[in-house]
Chains A and B, each alone.
Chain A
Amino acid sequence: MTTASQQTHQSSSGSLQPKGWLKYFSFSLDHKVIGLQYLVCGFIFYLIGGSLASAIRIELSSPMSDFMARDTYNQVLTLHGTIMIFLWIVPVVNGAFGNYLIPFYVGARDMAFPRLNAVAFWLIPPAGLMLITSYFITGAAESGWTAYPPLSITTPAAGQIIWILSVLLLGGSSIFGGINFIATILKLRRPGLKLMQLPMYCWAMLGTSILVVLSTPVLAGTLILLSFDIVAHTGFFNPTLGGNVIVYQHLFWFYSHPAVYIMVLPAFGLVSEILPVHCRKPLFGYSTMVYSIMAIVFLGLIVWAHHMFTSGTPPWMRLFFTIATSFIAVPTGIKFFNWVATLWGGRISLNSAVLFSCGFIANFVLGGITGVALAQVPFDIHVHDTYFVVAHFHYIVYGGSVFVIFSSIYHWYPKFTGRMLNEDLGRLHFLLTFLGFNLCFAPQHWLGLNGMPRRVAEYDPQFTFINQLSSIGALIMALSTLPFLWNVIQSAFKGAIAGDNPWEALTPEWLTTSPPPVENWTGMAPLVKEPYGYGIKEESIQIQSPDISDPENNKQ
C-alpha cells in the first residue's frame, strides 16, 4: 500500500526533477540523491572545519599568541567545533548514509516522508553559510561550541545570535531526519521482513533517531532561552538578573552528551555492515549488538552531568553520574568484542575500508578507556577542561566517527558511482590519517595531565615541544586529505567499473545496479532475511563438504 502510493507520487513529481548531475543541486526527493547531497555538503564543511583546525594548530605551535588575534582565536575554535559536529559528523553519519542506505535495508523505494527529507537537507547549507559568513560580517561567536553563559551573554551579541540561529536550524534538520528514520524503519519495512532481520545499521539509526527526537528539542529550547537573555535581557541564565548559569549547563549537556552517541552509534552501525562483508563472516552476536545499542541509548540519556563535575554539582550527583557513565562501557565493550570476534576466523581482505574500520576500533578503544577514566569524579577533577579531554573526544569523534566515514566511503563508493576507488591511494590515505591523527592527539593526553587547559591561545613554554609534535601530526592529517580528494574525484571519471556487487555482499543495497535506479529496484524489493549469511550461504551450496564449519580443519 505505502509502496504503491509512493510509486505514483514519485513518478508524478519525478518527471519535474532535473536529470543528470543537475539533480544534485535541486530539491530532489530521491533518498539516494539526498544522501549524496548530505555527504558532499558535509565534506565541504569538513574541509572548512579542518582548515580552522589547522589554524588552531599553527597558533599553538608557539607558546605565544602570535598567529591571530585572541578573540579571533576564540571565534575560530568555536566555529571549528560547531562545524565539525553540526555540519560534518552529525549530517554525514546520520543524514548521508542513513538516507542512502535505510530505504534499501528496509526494502522501501524511498524514505517515509521524501519532502520532509529534502527540507531537512536544504536547511543545512544556508545554516552553515550563515554561521561561516558571520565571521566576516559581524565576527563569529566566541564562547566555544558550548556557549556557556554568562560568557555567551557578554561577548558580542551579533555573532552569538547568528550561532544560535544556525544551530537551531541544524537541530531542526536533525529532528526532521530523526522522525523520518523512525517512521521509515518501523513503518516502511517490506512485508515479511522482521525487525530482528534488519541490518545492524537500521538498529543503530533507530536508536540514534530516538536520541535525536528526545534530546534535540531540549537544546533548541535552551538556546531560545539563551537568545532571550542576549536580545531581550531576560534573566534565565544571567546571574546579575538572578539567573542560574548551572541550569544552562544541565540543559545543554542533556542534548550534548547524547549528541556524542548521535555521532557514534551510526558509526557503530556502519562498521557492523562493513566488517562482515570484507571478513566473509556473519556479524558476530547480532542480538547482543541490538540490545547493546538500546542499552547505550538508554544510558546515554542519563549521564549528562559528567561534563559538570567541576561545576556546582552536589556529591550525590557526582556519584550517580560516575556510575551511570562507567556502565556505558559495558554495552560498548560488547560491541567491540563482537567486532573482534567477527574478524576472528574470517577471510579478511585488507582493503582501505577494513583498514579504516580497524583503525576506528583501535582509536575508539583508547578513547573509550580514557572515557571511563574521565567518568571517575576524582580523576576528572584534575583533567576536566584540559587537553586530556580534547584528546579523549577527538579519539571518539575523529578516531571513531570520521574514520568510519572514510571506511564507509571506500566501501560504498562503488555503489554510489558504479566505479571503484584506487586501493593504493586509499591505503596511503589510511596510513597518513592514522599516523597523523595519533601523532596529533596522543601527546595531548600528556599535555592535559601536566597542566595545559583547553581553548587557550597561549600556554606555558614548557609545553612547546609536545605542542609542535601535535601540530606536525595535524599537518600530516591535513595532507592526508589530498590523496583522498584526488582519488574520489578522478575515480568518478576514470575508476575501474565496479559492477553491481564488487564485494559480493549480501545486504540489500548490493542486490540492485550500481548506481541504483530511481526507485531502487526495477522489480520487487528482494526479501533479505540473512543480511550477514556469509559462510552459511556457502555451506548450503556446498553442503557436501563437512569441513567448512569445523574451525580446526579450517586453520590448515
Chain B
Amino acid sequence: MLGLALVVGGLWIGQNVNLLPDSASANAPVYDELFRVLFSIGTILFLGIVGLVIYSLIRFRRRPGQSKDGLALEGNLPLEIFWTAVPAVVVLFVGLYSYDIYDRMGGMQPLAQSAVHNHQAIEAKERVWGGIGSGPIELSKQAKSSLSVEVTALQFAFLFHYPEGDIISGELHVPSGQPVSMRMESKDVIHAFWVPEFRLKQDVIPGQPTILNFTATKPGRYPIVCAELCGPYHGSMRSTVVVEAPDEYKRWFKENSKDPILEA
C-alpha cells in the first residue's frame, strides 16, 4: 500500500513538477520526456530509501532501559539478490531508454564519425534534427535544407559566420523550423556553446572542429552561454540566439547579406 502510494506520488511529482526552462528546439521536448522519466524514478527511489532510513531511526531507536543488542541478522541472500536485481533492471531500463532518446535526438547518426564518414549524406528526414557530434565535416555535403553557420569562439565572444550571405554577426539568427548545422572552432581556449532552451551543449575546441545540429521551433530570444571555464571574463561570455519566423529571418538575412546576388 505504502509502496503503491510512493510510486504514484513519485510519478505525479515527476510528471507535474517542472524544473526546466522553456523548450525551444525540436529535441527539447524529447529531452524533457527523458527528464520526467528520470525525475519520477529518482523521486521514488529517494523518497523510498530516505523514508526507510527515517522510519528505522524512529521505529528502532534505543528506548530508555533497553540494554540488549538488536537482531543478529547477518544477511539474507534472497533479499540481497532482490536488491541487486532491481537496481540492475532499473539501470538497464534507464540506459536503453536514454539510448533511444539519444538516437531520436540524432546522436547516433554517422555524421559525427569524423573524417571516415565525411561523404555520407545524413539520413535524418524521419529523425528529429538536433544531431550532436564532433569531428570535421564538409558542410556543403549536408542536407540541402539545412542552414550552415560557422561559429568561432574566442576570449570572450562568439562570432557567427553565415557562408551563404557572408554575414558575420555577434548574435545567432535562425529561422524556426529549419535545421541548422553549425561547425564550431575555437581561436584560443576551450569554450562551450550552450543554449539552455535548446537543451544542447557542445564544447568548442581549438584545433578540432565540432558540429552541432539543431532545429529551433519557438520564436524568441534565448541566451547562448559559454559553459567551459575560459578565463577571467568567462561569466560574461554570453550571446543571444534569435529564433525568428522564416519571413522575418529572410528580411534579416537580406539586410545583412554582403552577397550582391542575394541582395538583388
Contact = CB atoms under 8 A, between A and B. Distances in A.
Interface of A: 65, 69-71, 73-74, 142-144, 146, 148, 150-151, 154-155, 239-240, 242-246, 279-288, 310-315, 318-319, 322-323, 326-327, 329-330, 333-334, 336-338, 340-341, 343-350, 354, 358, 361-362, 365-366, 369-370, 372-373, 376-379, 381-382, 384-386, 445-446, 449-451, 453-460, 532-539, 548-549, 551, 554
A458 B235 contact: yes
Interface of B: 19-21, 30-31, 34-35, 38, 42, 45-46, 49-50, 52-53, 56-57, 60-62, 66, 68-76, 79-80, 83-84, 87-88, 91, 94-95, 98-99, 101-102, 105, 107-108, 112-114, 132-135, 188-190, 192, 194, 196-197, 199-203, 205-208, 210, 223, 225-236
B134 A314 contact: yes
Given A74-B232, A455-B229, A330 B88 contact: yes
A322 B74 CA distance: 34
B74 A284 contact: yes
B16 to A, nearest CB: 16
Nearest to A363: B50
A279 B72 CA distance: 11
Nearest to A551: B71
Contacts of A361: 49-50, 53
A80 B47 CA distance: 32
Contact of A315 (B84, B113, B225, B226): B113
B79 A148 contact: no
Contacts of A326: 91, 94-95
B94 A376 contact: yes
Contacts of A450: 19-21, 196
Contact of B229 (A151, A445, A449, A536): A151
A245 B190 contact: yes
- A-side interface mostly: helix
Contact of A154 (B75, B112, B113, B188): B188
B87 A330 contact: yes
10 contacts: A69-B232, A71-B232, A282-B72, A285-B74, A314-B114, A330-B84, A369-B42, A376-B95, A379-B34, A451-B21
A449 B74 contact: no
- B-side interface mostly: mixed
Contacts of B101: 376, 378
B107 A549 contact: no
Nearest to A144: B229
A137 B246 CA distance: 57
Contact of A348 (B61, B95, B202): B61
Please indicate which of the listed interface residues A142, A315, A373 has the most CB atoms of chain B within 10 Å of its own CB: A315
Given A348-B57, A379-B38, A446-B19, A341 B68 contact: no
Contacts of A349: 61-62
Contacts of A146: 229
Nearest to A545: B68
Please indicate which of the listed interface residues A242, A318, A451, A539 has the most CB atoms of chain B within 10 Å of its own CB: A451
Given A244-B207, A345-B60, A369-B45, 16 more contacts: A65-B236, A151-B189, A151-B229, A245-B207, A282-B74, A343-B60, A345-B70, A362-B53, A369-B46, A379-B98, A386-B194, A386-B227, A450-B19, A457-B234, A458-B235, A535-B72
Contact of A288 (B42, B75, B230): B75
Contacts of A330: 84, 87-88, 91
A266 to B, nearest CB: 21
B231 A311 contact: no
A456 B101 CA distance: 30
Contacts of A458: 235-236
Given A245-B208, A347-B62, A456-B234, A281 B53 contact: no
Given A322-B95, A344-B60, A538-B69, A65 B21 contact: no
Contacts of B31: 378-379, 382
Contact of A535 (B57, B71, B113): B71
A453 B225 contact: yes
Contacts of B84: 288, 330, 333-334
Contact of A245 (B49, B205, B234): B205
Contacts of A243: 207
Given A151-B189, A280-B70, A348 B56 contact: yes
B42 A376 contact: no
Contact of B235 (A65, A151, A381): A65
A456 B50 CA distance: 33
A381 B71 contact: no
Given A245-B205, A345-B71, A340 B188 contact: no
Contacts of A460: 223
B231 A151 contact: yes
B110 to A, nearest CB: 9
